[in-house]
Structure 1
Amino acid sequence: MRCLASGGIILSFVSVSRKRPKQADGAVAAKIARLANGGAPRVIDLFAGCGGLSLGFHSAGFELVGAVENDPLAAATHSLNFFSHAKHSLQEHGPVDVTKTDPEELLRRVLAEKLSVAEAASRIDVLIGGPPCQAYSIVGRAKLREIAQHPLAFEKDLRAQLYKNFLHYVRVLKPLAVLIENVPEILRYGTRNVAEDIASELEALGYQVRYTILNAVHYGVPQLRDRMFMIAYINELELLPEFPAPTHRHALPKGYKNLRRDVTAKLSGLFGSRYFLPPVENTESGEAAVTARDAIGDLPPITKHLEGQLKRGARRFDEFTPYAGAPLTAYAKTMRGWPAFRSRDGIYDHVIRYLPRDYKIFARMAPGDEYPQAHALANRMFEEALEARSTKLRPSDPRYAVLKKEYVPPYDPAKFANKWRKIDAEEPVRTITAHIGKDSYSHIHYSSDQARTISVREAARLQSFPDGFKFAGTLDPALRQIGNSVPPLIARALARKMKRDLLAALRHARAR
């Protein structure tokens, strides 16, 4: 089931046909003519989440017509930021089964107009989206193997087939351009390269297609985040997809380089592969990568948890936190001043998780420390607490176990090596995933004086959401929405490149 954020429609999907569209299609010709006359490209975002891709394309001058998302809170966030004045609200419509509702019916609901199939197809120029990645991710596969007790259980995951629903919308709406995002593991999903399957389907539908791996850190996002991006242009444009050149320099760690080496070695030599070599890693020119301190260092410190003023319970976004007047980096200025999402005086979602056992561990961790180091620290602190007691406790004493529980987390450091990590302030952070909505330990704030995990607003900053972007729900679902999203800055870089190339192709076509 998926949900239309602009109209609040809960939807499921039908499968794709490989039928090739007619080449001189009237809807395609109408779209080309409209854009050639200066119209803004109109876009629909499928599997939109809270709106990272939507924000990037909106900022690049695309007209966002609608979005489809199944998570109610993510859909509410999308509506709140992009369709707050739309005629159709999330509450106004009940669930709609898209197997009984064609894409043209979907557009009729969004646009509140009666449209024929041809008219509906003529209304959408660009289709973007990221089919749910959990089925392809290494963590997601491992979880499925554990549940199903079969090494190839992930291949039966229905979420891995949702790209076919995306392709169904391509077939019906005939967009001039397509952008798809997913995790790099989609390139090696068991024995399949699903990205190549998608590219083949798009080519059969009449598109020129290329896909590659990009890292968000090279586009101004303060985060090491590899993702597969695929761009396709309809054949009538005679346009071969290209990807934006990196704007920021940063040497990727070994694991990221190995992924590129392995994928390139496997795919670049295959006849007919649409895999495009990743842009050359920029390590000498361009701007320096944005660091964690650059990204969140201006936000007000949080210490009330250390003063006993933070209690257990849901964290809502109803308390205003004024900016503290700290010096602003270029990145912080961008986050505060993003057009249409400005926040001049402060923020409402600078809230953190209640983790009373662990504050003292966070304070003593060093930058870059992970769970094994944190676990060793906790045991030393427990030993110190034992030594400080006036009466000694033996392991057989029930009070021994009670005291240990106050200091030492229960997870085996050999099995959960990457469960915790304290941010290095002078480096970009590691990938923010949806799991941050469960415990946040993967991103412990670099300040030992604050001794905490990052706030919702800090997570949003590290994902490059501007301060004026609002999240529906409470702390846990907001963090999950952030971790599931495409960083808006890399989305904007892709959107700008696609827009430039589209307009150049249209100018060239008119000159012929």
Structure 2
Amino acid sequence: MGCTYKTIDLFAGPGGLAEGFSTIRNGDGDRVFPIALSVEKEPSAFATLRLRSFFRQFESPPEDYDRYLAGQISKQDLIDAHPDEWARAVAETAMLELGSEQAAAELDERLSLVESEKGVRTVVIGGPPCQAYSLVGRARNKGIAGYDPAEDHRHFLYREYIGILQRLQPAAFVMENVKGLLSARVAGERIIEKVLADLETAGGGLGSYVLFPLVDDDRGGLPGHLIRSENFGIPQCRHRVILLGLRRDIADVLPDSMKAGLRLQPVDRQVTVRDAISRMPELRSGLSRGGDSPGAWVEAAIRALRSASAACREDGDWLADVQMRLLDCAMELASREKILPRTSRIVTPLKDNALGAWISKDAPTTLPNHESRGHMEGDLARYAFAAAFAEVFERSPKAGEFPKALAPDHGNWESGKFADRFRVQAWGRASTTVTSHISKDGHYFIHPDPMQCRSLTVREAARLQTFPDNYFFEGNRTQQYVQVGNAVPPLLARQIAEIVARMLGAIS
């Protein structure tokens, strides 16, 4: 039998890291990294996490799972139909707030069960909360009267992760965090230096864990550890610090050729927004004010397209192509017999490539989480303009490039601080970073088709994050957006897991 490593997933979110790690199989067909425990505190993310744990209990998803995604049966019906699989999912997931006394007691009991298994080998993965490290979070914190970074417990939650390393002494660990970790400081001390020191000594002594770079890239202030996802087949420019460590006794016997040769392999061609979402069912946006109906939306959208076209004409010849594109869209929309829906469950295939194979594996018969949001009528024109501009110029417009007639009533619109206030995800590029802010409004995540006049749906954002189409996000739509934005792209996690498996000799 090939080697397997019980895997502990901390600060798991909806389970992006675990999804990638759980797909690696050894020569016997067994999971190299079976998930022994996933821990998450936020209820909706935890519900998603547990449901995915349930999904993994099957070699192929049961028909009842598809029926649940389609809304034909309740979750209780699903549980009742498969009680043993649900019980196993309950056993490997825990809704705990790491750092609390309650969590410490329950986690101690859960980890004792893992440790009690004779000859068990473990791996620890996870991403401690990043709000206190992120550039946006730090800017927000500065505006809080009396804010003291040294008193912000979020800066030190990574120590909960360190504590699990010290207890389990896993063969390897993977820790993910935001790029802002590299520049964050508390009391004048760089957080990253403290994190690295704590990780490297988590085995009980100096150098008891050895960090290995995942990429051949000297940029970012921590050579080899800043991962630019767009270079590795992810349709998104997501830059994250990912630290891979091996226990010293394992690292010391690795051949030099393996130490130097195991890196994430760049792709030949950047995977784009078009690759990920162009074949998805088209939707219209909704109207958030004044009552929404198909007819009312068509009238509002035509007005928006025409007003955006007129605004381009007033701004000069340089927007002539954008103006004509908007006018063509208005004419086409007026001539259509059928109005696009606001939601669709139709499953559509991706291109026959690596991303398509990953997203579409065990594809459901009904597409979940694909429903548009409502927008103010005034924003429809801005969304349409941004999308048409990107079709012409192959990039999103800056605030200064918007026609004056489309400028929002924001006092800081021309300050230069919000140049990307309205940002379209251009077809021919990887998207910008999908963040939890997508839950607040759609302005930073405008769909590239000007005919649809909307922001991205949860499912479109999930595809940019490389979640398979059968990955269902629980909770309300706002909670779903937050889960997607906070996750590690599962397809990137799989590539990292494959490197870890090779280092541990679990696969050749």
Do the aligned residues in 2 keep the contact of 1:135 with 1:159 (CA within 8 Å)? yes
TM-score (norm 1): 0.69
- 1:427 aligned to 2:429? yes
Alignment match of 2:346 (pick from 287, 309, 322):
322
Partner of 1:349: 369
1:217-256 paired onto structure 2 within 5 Å: 217-239=230-252, 245-248=263-266
Aligned-partner residue type, residue 105 of structure 2: T
What is the aligned partner in structure 2 of residue 282 from structure 1? Answer: none
Aligned to 2:54: 83
Q: What does 1:35-50 align with in structure 2 at a 5 Å threshold?
A: 38-50=2-14
Displacement, 1:416?
A: 2.2
Report if the CA contact (8 A) 1:362-1:448 is conserved. yes
The Cα of 1:94 is off from its aligned counterpart by 9.5
Counterpart check, 1:66 vs 2:37: yes
Q: In the alignment, is residue 412 of structure 1 matched against residue 412 of structure 2?
A: yes
What secondary structure, in the 3-state scheme, does the structure 2 residue paired with 1:147 have?
A: coil
Corresponding position of 1:467: 469
Query: Partner letter of residue 408 of structure 1?
Result: P
Q: Is the 8 A contact 1:131 1:181 kept in 2?
A: yes
- State the AA in 2 paired with 1:199: L
- 2:28 is matched with none
- What is the aligned counterpart of 1:372 among 374, 381, 399? 399
1:442 partnered with 2:444: yes
In the TM superposition, residue 238 of structure 1 has moved relative to its aligned partner by: 3.1
Q: Distance in 1 between matches of 2:131 and 2:95?
A: 28
Q: Determine if contact 2:41/2:95 at 8 Å carries over to the other structure.
A: no
Shift of 1:409: 4.6
What is the one-letter code of the residue matched to 2:263?
A: A
Tell whether 2:310 aligns with 1:287.
no
Q: 1:99 to 1:335 in 2, by over 3 A?
A: closer
Contact 2:4 2:121 in 1 (8 A): no
* CA-to-aligned-CA distance 1:249-293 (integer Å, 9 cap, x gap): xxxxxxxxxxxxxxxxxxxxxxxxxxxxxxxxxxxxx42010110
| Residues 1:106 and 2:133 aligned together | no
Equivalent runs, 1:28-177 vs 2, <5 Å: 38-61=2-25, 62-83=33-54, 85-87=85-87, 89=90, 97-98=101-102, 100-101=104-105, 103-107=107-111, 119=116, 123=120, 125-148=122-145, 153-177=148-172
Give the structure 1 partner of residue 66 of structure 2: none
- Give 1:501 deviation, angstroms: 0.9
TM-score normalized with structure 2 length: 0.69
User: Identity of counterpart residues, as a percentage?
Assistant: 29
SS in 2 for 1:418: coil
From the superposition, tell whether residues 100 and 444 of structure 1 become closer, same or farther in structure 2 (CA, over 3 Å). closer
Aligned to 1:390: none
Helix, strand or coil at the partner of 1:68: strand
Aligned partners of 1:54 and 1:425: how far apart in 2? 29
Any conservation in 2 of the 1:46–1:130 contact (CA below 8 Å)? yes
- Cα displacement string for residues 452-511 of structure 1 (whole angstroms, at most 9, x for unaligned residues): 11111100000111101010012111111111011111111110001011117x99xxxx
Q: Which residue of 2 aligns with 1:453?
A: 455
CA RMSD between the two structures: 3.2
Structure 2 counterpart of 1:380, one-letter code: A
CA contact (8 A) 2:40 2:96 kept: no
1:102 to 1:92, Cα distance in 2 relative to 1, 3 A: closer
Structure 1 residues 50-106: Cα deviation after superposition (integer angstroms, max 9, x where no partner): 011011101123211111111111111110111363327499999983465164412
Q: CA deviation at 1:337?
A: 2.7
Match of 1:369, SS state, is coil
Aligned residues: 388
- Structure 2 vs 1, CA of residues 483 and 41 (structure 1 numbering), >3 Å: closer, same or farther? same
- Alpha-carbon shift at residue 351 of structure 1 (Å): 1.1
Contact 2:16 2:489 survives alignment (8 Å): yes
Give, in whole Å, the separation in 1 of the partners of 2:196 and 2:182.
11
On the 8 A contact 1:178/1:232 being kept in 2, the answer is yes
Distance 1:411 1:120 in 2: 62
**Deviation of residue 419 (structure 1)?**
2.6
